[in-house]
């Protein structure tokens, strides 16, 4: 209740009383601010707590429903799956039915669909799987690993910035959407005439047993192995292609620091143990060097004897003049300066001669005198990350086909069909494949199509038609064929306004030579996989329509244009800084760029699960640092 | 600007217009509820979002400050650390100084403090480290692992319910608080006369090099190895004592499921691959069986061919009549019923005869006829989790001391000092130690103290004094000594109201026989470590005071009472259910008990880091299931 204000003291000589000034309270504004601040703080704390409680509660309730006690009834299994028939050139069992085929309605529905077999479990294979539609194919994936790996973050996993488990997703979870099957085995051979893939399984006792997997469509996406470049001693090197590699590297790095801390270790040996050599100045090499530097700066320094941080030396040996040489010059420079500041030694224009268990030998040619000198770096950790080569299966497939001459990969046409294999049966994507760049090998075929008047020569009108056909067959040649008239005039050496077969052959040969093949990157593999997945869907859906109308199934060309690669840019982490090369545009910078680099990789994850895990790893590193357990 | 309201339309016949009744809105209450609900929902969403944004923002800002570019100056290192002097019986280098000793002010301060060497990195060792005070000792930990493991959750890690990395904490992080050093090596021998611990380090080339670590106080906490019980074929078994074991088991289990899914696997082989045998019905065995069952029920069933779930069989072979036989009978029964419901086969009162690569042989004795029959279980995964034995270092220490006769551990006195070692130099805690229970071995000493009138006999008054002394020396005998008078009368066979030496010997022998030694559990090791850590602190602080007053350093007895174990209860996870045995009180139940079980283990974590990781693992499992990648 409010007490009415006494009016007795009001002066009477004025009709309206003057407004009484409020008593001066010097702290009133301060107090109001304080009160507002307190309320705001209370609100913030309340909101935060409430938000956390809400999320936690939700998770808890969900969690309680994930435990189940249901029992399965007997499941039907086809007798053919239990006792497969034998056949094929080697009279091996043929897996015409698999044990999971009868499991559910959905698997029973696809079991009579065309058999699509995908060999491999990396970027290309997963990208095919993700762009397929459920129910159109009986999908079987043959892979020696049961998971797919987010390879670009392997350097981070190699020092424990992220956990290896955050980079992998079980293939079975990806295949489940398509009601497909995983066969954990290695592809070893191919019988294209009978459409049989020969795989090698490992039994529990370690014995190998081979079996045929029949296919209607085969996608080869087995990736590559490291190229040795003929350097001896590569068995003394680490590689960084798999999570197992990352685990081994992490163990070795921490082992080196532990051994360096031992009282039995001599000063010279300590120096050698803490010398990290990276052969290859591409993104993997550069990122690994950067991550090792980070590990030393942020964690080793805090928990190991200080001398172990002080004696660390990191060396990058690069054959070219600059590191990150496929990036823009500005980026190379930026990365080189960053490394110079960080005391990471860059040895450019150098060739690794040999890798010994205790040291690396490299040679440098003096650019002026041309004299080659050899140098040694003592080291107990050498990473080999330069170049790719064919794995045994790729080599085998390549050897089966007479017109496969490429040294490093299987040649495919513009539709990504393996050249020489029965048309539309076998595709190859990713590192294990390369798109043909030889235009001249299509010479006769092109002339046949273009030479309308059949005079054995190509006039300008026919040439224009031919250019259109070349662009369809070898889309990568398009940029070389922009100046149609100029090309025609240039190679029409006798200036008779027609191109003879000889003139044409020279022209096409030179165009082919100018095409650079696509790089062996995740981006290329991913786009190729998506292309194949989409095409397979189109083939399946049109096949159903066509079969309903008694028409022959369509060919690849009828449903889809040739594969076209769209370069979205390259990026690399260089130690609390990152660089981006977006086709001409270059960005580089410190922490902000690093967060941007993380965001891009984060968005490219194959599942929300690995997204959550990665985010957690980054937060955990921020709060508690890397786990220094040598495991 | 506000436009003044025109007054022209106001009716003039009334001085004050009647209040216009609000239009009847039949849905007004509903709408009000709806509006309130909407606002509440908006508030909830806003608060939750705000809370999350706030937490995320905080983490982000913190993260940005964790990257550093600081460079170290040259660090001082003692020449003695780089080139240690040689000495001791084997003339090995003696690590009188370590390379980290001069790193910082804090390490320089402790370098001349008494040298405390702790051998091991498990529950006992970490518990000592955690209860020490910084600055009182020069602490050196010798451990072949660089991390400590939260062993009770190893069964969870073995199937991927939690990640192995969530169970380990680097020892260096724990030691950092004490400005101590870690030596990643194996203890092999002890020279007690010169206070030297001999350790074996592994150099980078795999060669071993031994060195002496000098100590003033040594704590042995090396744990135990599995007991073979003389069963042949244990090399065909898995064990579950380390995270490496858990990783190997996880790999094998998933390998079995992958191989079972192969088209080359016969139905019989599939049955064998999916048969999991666990030898030992204690907590580890039971929990592993439960976790394997969970894995099948919650994950395998969703992603592998259904036949792989259906043909799974889990077998627990237990030598006693019941599983969890150290728990209350109600708990054993509850666990047995749960397993019966889950189709987990319990083979009780059975002995494992041999473990072959493809099957396990066990024998059962018929309780009536006494006839022993042998049985086979085909299996590709056998876990051995029964009993403990001495590891080589424990055995070596034991062999050095003449009065060490215990088969499974080093005998220590009530102050946890190794019996026979120079008093107060060497302690042992955890699985590798056992507290002496033989009262009779103290006979002469006790009589000497108690026989006040030196008549060679003990009257009742002297007996009462003796009982007090026994309780001090062997506190575990206390429960046997409660009825002082009755015991005296019982063993006074000639009823002369005194106990002769012979009568006393019989009495003390029988009391000793009735004492059960402490179990080899984390709980015991942890309490013992805490006891030692606290005592070492008291010794150090009193030593400083005494030295200042020129008085001799105190002995253990002067600063602390003997070790007393307080059993806080046992718990076990049995598959979406858990059991608790709180000394007499038993609790058991389903999901709620499981969450309680998790909470207890959660609170026992060694760091907030592993707490966060564990919580995340449990949430991840709830949301996305276990990671089925065979890695």
CB contact under 8 A, A203 and B261: no
pLDDT beyond 50 at B8 = no
Supply the pLDDT for residue A549.
78
What is the band of B14 on the pLDDT scale with cuts at 50, 70, 90?
A: very low
**A255 vs B contacts (CB less than 8 Å):** 204
Average pLDDT, chain A: 89
* Closest-CA distance of chain A to residue B305, Å: 4
Q: If you ran DSSP here, which 8-state letter would residue A441 be given?
A: G
Pairing state between β A426-428 and A217-220: parallel
Does A481 lie in the same domain as A471?
Answer: yes
Is residue B371 helix, strand or coil? coil
What is the band of B21 on the pLDDT scale with cuts at 50, 70, 90?
A: low
* Closest-CA distance of chain A to residue B232, Å: 20
Does B124 lie in the same domain as B88?
Answer: yes
Rounded Cα distance between B60 and B44, Å, is 24
> What's the whole-number mean pLDDT along residues A51-70?
78
Q: What is chain B's Cα-based Rg?
A: 33
User: A45, A262, A312: which to substitute to probe chain B, counting the most B Cβ within 10 Å?
Assistant: A262
Q: Which residue of B has its CA nearest to A57?
A: B619
The answer to whether residues B277 and B315 touch, using CB atoms and an 8 Å cutoff, is yes
Supply the pLDDT for residue B617.
94
Inter-chain CB pairs, A–B, below 8 Å: 300
**B55 vs A contacts (CB less than 8 Å):** 48, 51-52
Supply the pLDDT for residue B69.
67
For B147, the closest of A66, A309, A629 (CB atoms) is A629
**B211 vs A contacts (CB less than 8 Å):** 263-264
Pairing state between β A225-226 and A388-389: antiparallel
For A211, the closest of B44, B263, B624 (CB atoms) is B263
pLDDT beyond 50 at B138 = yes
Tokens at B116, concatenated: 């405390």
Number of other CB atoms surrounding residue B61 within 10 Å: 10
What is the band of B1 on the pLDDT scale with cuts at 50, 70, 90?
A: very low
Does A310 lie in the same domain as A261?
Answer: yes
pLDDT beyond 70 at A127 = yes
For A303, the closest of B70, B176, B307 (CB atoms) is B176
pLDDT beyond 90 at A131 = yes
Does A266 lie in the same domain as A138?
Answer: no
Q: Which residue of B has its CA nearest to A101?
A: B305
For A81, the closest of B47, B145, B263 (CB atoms) is B263
CB contact under 8 A, B181 and A305: yes
Query: Quick check: is B162 in a domain?
Result: no
CB contact under 8 A, A310 and B204: no
The answer to whether residues B383 and B278 touch, using CB atoms and an 8 Å cutoff, is yes
What is the band of B130 on the pLDDT scale with cuts at 50, 70, 90?
A: very high
Is residue A39 helix, strand or coil? helix
**CB contact, 8 Å: A9 with chain B?**
no
Which CATH number belongs to the domain containing residue A421 in this structure? 3.50.50.60
Among B493, B434, B437, B499, residue whose Cα is nearest residue B464? B499
Which CATH number belongs to the domain containing residue A382 in this structure? 3.50.50.100
> What's the whole-number mean pLDDT along residues A183-196?
96
**Containing domain of residue A213, as a range?**
74-144+184-227+387-437+518-554
Query: Quick check: is B18 in a domain?
Result: no
Query: Quick check: is B64 in a domain?
Result: no
Supply the pLDDT for residue A95.
94
Does B607 lie in the same domain as B463?
Answer: no
pLDDT beyond 70 at B188 = yes
Question: pTM of the predicted model, to two decimals?
Answer: 0.89
Query: Quick check: is A155 in a domain?
Result: no
Which stretch of A358-362, A435-439, B338-342, B624-628 has the lowest confidence by average pLDDT? A435-439
pLDDT in tens, B37-65: 888 888 777 777 777 787 778 887 888 88
CA-to-CA separations, A578 to A329, A331, A332, A572, B574, in angstroms, rounded? 15, 9, 12, 6, 49
pLDDT in tens, B53-109: 877 788 878 888 877 767 767 788 888 888 899 999 999 999 999 999 999 899 999
Element (H, E) at A365: strand A359-365
Q: What percent of chain A has pLDDT over 70?
A: 95
Does B350 lie in the same domain as B403?
Answer: no
Residue A349, Ramachandran bin (φ over 0: left; ψ between -120 and 50: alpha; else beta):
left
Supply the pLDDT for residue B49.
78
Average pLDDT, chain B: 89
The answer to whether residues B237 and B285 touch, using CB atoms and an 8 Å cutoff, is no
Query: Quick check: is A263 in a domain?
Result: yes
Q: Which is higher by pLDDT, A366 or B627? A: B627
Does A340 lie in the same domain as A320?
Answer: yes
Which stretch of A395-404, B277-286, B291-300, B467-476 has the lowest confidence by average pLDDT? B467-476
**CB contact, 8 Å: A146 with chain B?**
yes
pLDDT in tens, A241-254: 999 999 999 999 99
Q: Which is higher by pLDDT, A252 or B558? A: A252
What is the band of B183 on the pLDDT scale with cuts at 50, 70, 90?
A: very high
Query: Quick check: is B29 in a domain?
Result: no
Does B210 lie in the same domain as B107?
Answer: yes
Q: If you ran DSSP here, which 8-state letter would residue A194 be given?
A: G
pLDDT beyond 70 at A577 = yes
Q: Which is higher by pLDDT, A591 or B300? A: B300
Query: Quick check: is B189 in a domain?
Result: yes
pLDDT beyond 70 at B477 = yes
**A630 vs B contacts (CB less than 8 Å):** 145-147, 184
pLDDT in tens, B430-461: 999 999 888 888 888 888 888 888 888 888 88
Q: Which residue of A has its CA nearest to B608?
A: A624
Query: Quick check: is B2 in a domain?
Result: no
Does A528 lie in the same domain as A395?
Answer: yes
**CB contact, 8 Å: B379 with chain A?**
no
Among A201, A176, A190, residue whose Cα is nearest residue A84? A201
Last residue of a domain, one of A451, A486, A515: A515
Among A297, A249, A258, residue whose Cα is nearest residue A277? A249
Supply the pLDDT for residue A301.
92
What is the band of A14 on the pLDDT scale with cuts at 50, 70, 90?
A: very low
The answer to whether residues B261 and A141 touch, using CB atoms and an 8 Å cutoff, is no
Count Cβ atoms within 10 A of the Cβ of residue A600 and give its class: 0-12 exposed, 13-18 middle, 19 or more buried: middle
Tokens at B219, concatenated: 């704590």
Does A367 lie in the same domain as A282?
Answer: yes
Residues 357-376 of B with CB under 8 A from A: 357-358
Sign of CA dihedral A485, A487, A488, A492: positive
What is the number of structural domains in chain B? 3
Does B393 lie in the same domain as B335?
Answer: no
**CB contact, 8 Å: A267 with chain B?**
yes
What is the band of A50 on the pLDDT scale with cuts at 50, 70, 90?
A: confident
The answer to whether residues A562 and A472 touch, using CB atoms and an 8 Å cutoff, is yes
> What's the whole-number mean pLDDT along residues A41-60?
78
> What's the whole-number mean pLDDT along residues A100-111?
91
Q: If you ran DSSP here, which 8-state letter would residue B499 be given?
A: E
**Diameter over CA atoms, chain A:** 125
Which CATH number belongs to the domain containing residue B509 in this structure? 1.10.238.10
Does B354 lie in the same domain as B268?
Answer: yes
The answer to whether residues B336 and B346 touch, using CB atoms and an 8 Å cutoff, is yes
């Amino acid at each position: 209740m409010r007490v009415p204000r006494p009016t007795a003291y009001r002066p009477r000589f004025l009709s309206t009383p003057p407004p009484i000034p409020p008593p001066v309270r010097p702290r009133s504004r301060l107090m109001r601010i304080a009160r507002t601040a307190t309320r705001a703080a209370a609100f913030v704390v309340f909101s935060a707590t409430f938000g956390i409680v809400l999320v936690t509660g939700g998770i808890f309730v969900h969690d309680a429903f994930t435990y189940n006690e249901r029992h399965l009834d007997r499941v039907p299994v086809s007798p053919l799956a239990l006792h497969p028939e034998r056949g094929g050139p080697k009279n091996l069992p043929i897996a015409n039915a698999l044990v999971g085929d009868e499991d559910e309605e959905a698997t029973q529905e696809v079991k009579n669909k065309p058999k699509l077999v995908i060999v491999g479990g990396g970027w290309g294979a997963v990208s095919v799987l993700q762009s397929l539609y459920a129910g159109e194919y009986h999908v079987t994936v043959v892979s020696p690993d049961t998971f797919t790996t987010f390879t670009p973050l392997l350097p981070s996993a190699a020092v424990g910035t992220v956990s290896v488990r955050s980079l992998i997703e079980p293939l079975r979870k990806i295949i489940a959407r398509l009601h497909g099957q995983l066969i954990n085995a290695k592809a070893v051979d191919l019988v294209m005439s009978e459409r049989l893939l020969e795989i090698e399984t490992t039994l529990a006792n370690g014995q190998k047993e081979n079996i045929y997997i029949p296919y209607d469509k085969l996608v080869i996406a087995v990736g590559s192995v490291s190229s040795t470049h003929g350097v001896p001693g590569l068995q003394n090197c680490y590689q960084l292609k798999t999570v197992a590699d990352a685990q081994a590297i992490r163990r070795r790095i921490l082992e080196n620091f532990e051994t360096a801390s031992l009282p039995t270790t001599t000063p010279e040996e300590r120096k050698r143990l803490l010398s990290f050599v990276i052969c290859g100045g591409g993104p993997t090499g550069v990122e690994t060097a950067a991550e090792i530097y980070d590990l030393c700066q942020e964690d080793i320094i805090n928990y190991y004897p200080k001398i172990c941080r002080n004696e660390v030396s990191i060396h990058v040996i690069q054959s070219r003049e600059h590191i990150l040489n496929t990036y823009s010059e500005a980026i190379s420079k930026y990365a080189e300066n960053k490394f110079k500041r960080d005391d990471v030694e860059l040895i450019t224009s150098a060739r690794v001669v040999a890798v010994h268990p205790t040291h690396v030998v490299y040679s440098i040619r003096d650019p002026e005198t041309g004299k080659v000198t050899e140098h040694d770096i003592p080291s107990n950790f050498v990473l080999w990350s330069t170049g790719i080569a064919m794995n045994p299966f790729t080599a085998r497939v390549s050897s089966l086909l007479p017109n496969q001459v490429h040294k490093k990969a299987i040649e495919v046409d513009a539709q990504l069909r393996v050249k020489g294999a029965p048309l539309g049966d076998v595709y190859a994507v990713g590192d294990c494949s390369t798109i043909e760049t030889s235009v001249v090998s299509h010479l006769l075929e092109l002339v046949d199509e273009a030479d309308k008047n059949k005079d054995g020569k190509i006039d300008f009108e026919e040439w224009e038609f031919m250019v259109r056909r070349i662009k369809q067959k070898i889309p990568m040649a398009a940029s070389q064929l922009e100046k149609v008239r100029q090309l025609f005039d240039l190679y029409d050496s006798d200036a008779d306004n027609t191109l003879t077969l000889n003139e044409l052959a020279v022209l096409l040969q030179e165009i082919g030579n100018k095409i650079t093949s696509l790089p062996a990157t995740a981006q290329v593999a991913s786009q190729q996989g998506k292309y194949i997945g989409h095409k397979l869907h189109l083939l399946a859906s049109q096949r159903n329509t066509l079969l309903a109308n008694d028409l022959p199934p369509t060919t690849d060309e009828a449903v889809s244009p040739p594969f076209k690669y769209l370069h979205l840019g390259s990026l690399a982490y260089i130690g609390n800084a990152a660089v981006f090369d977006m086709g001409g545009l270059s960005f580089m910078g410190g922490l902000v760029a690093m967060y941007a680099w993380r965001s891009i990789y984060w968005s490219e994850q194959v599942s929300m699960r690995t997204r959550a895990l990665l985010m957690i790893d980054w937060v955990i590193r921020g709060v508690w640092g890397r786990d220094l357990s040598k495991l």
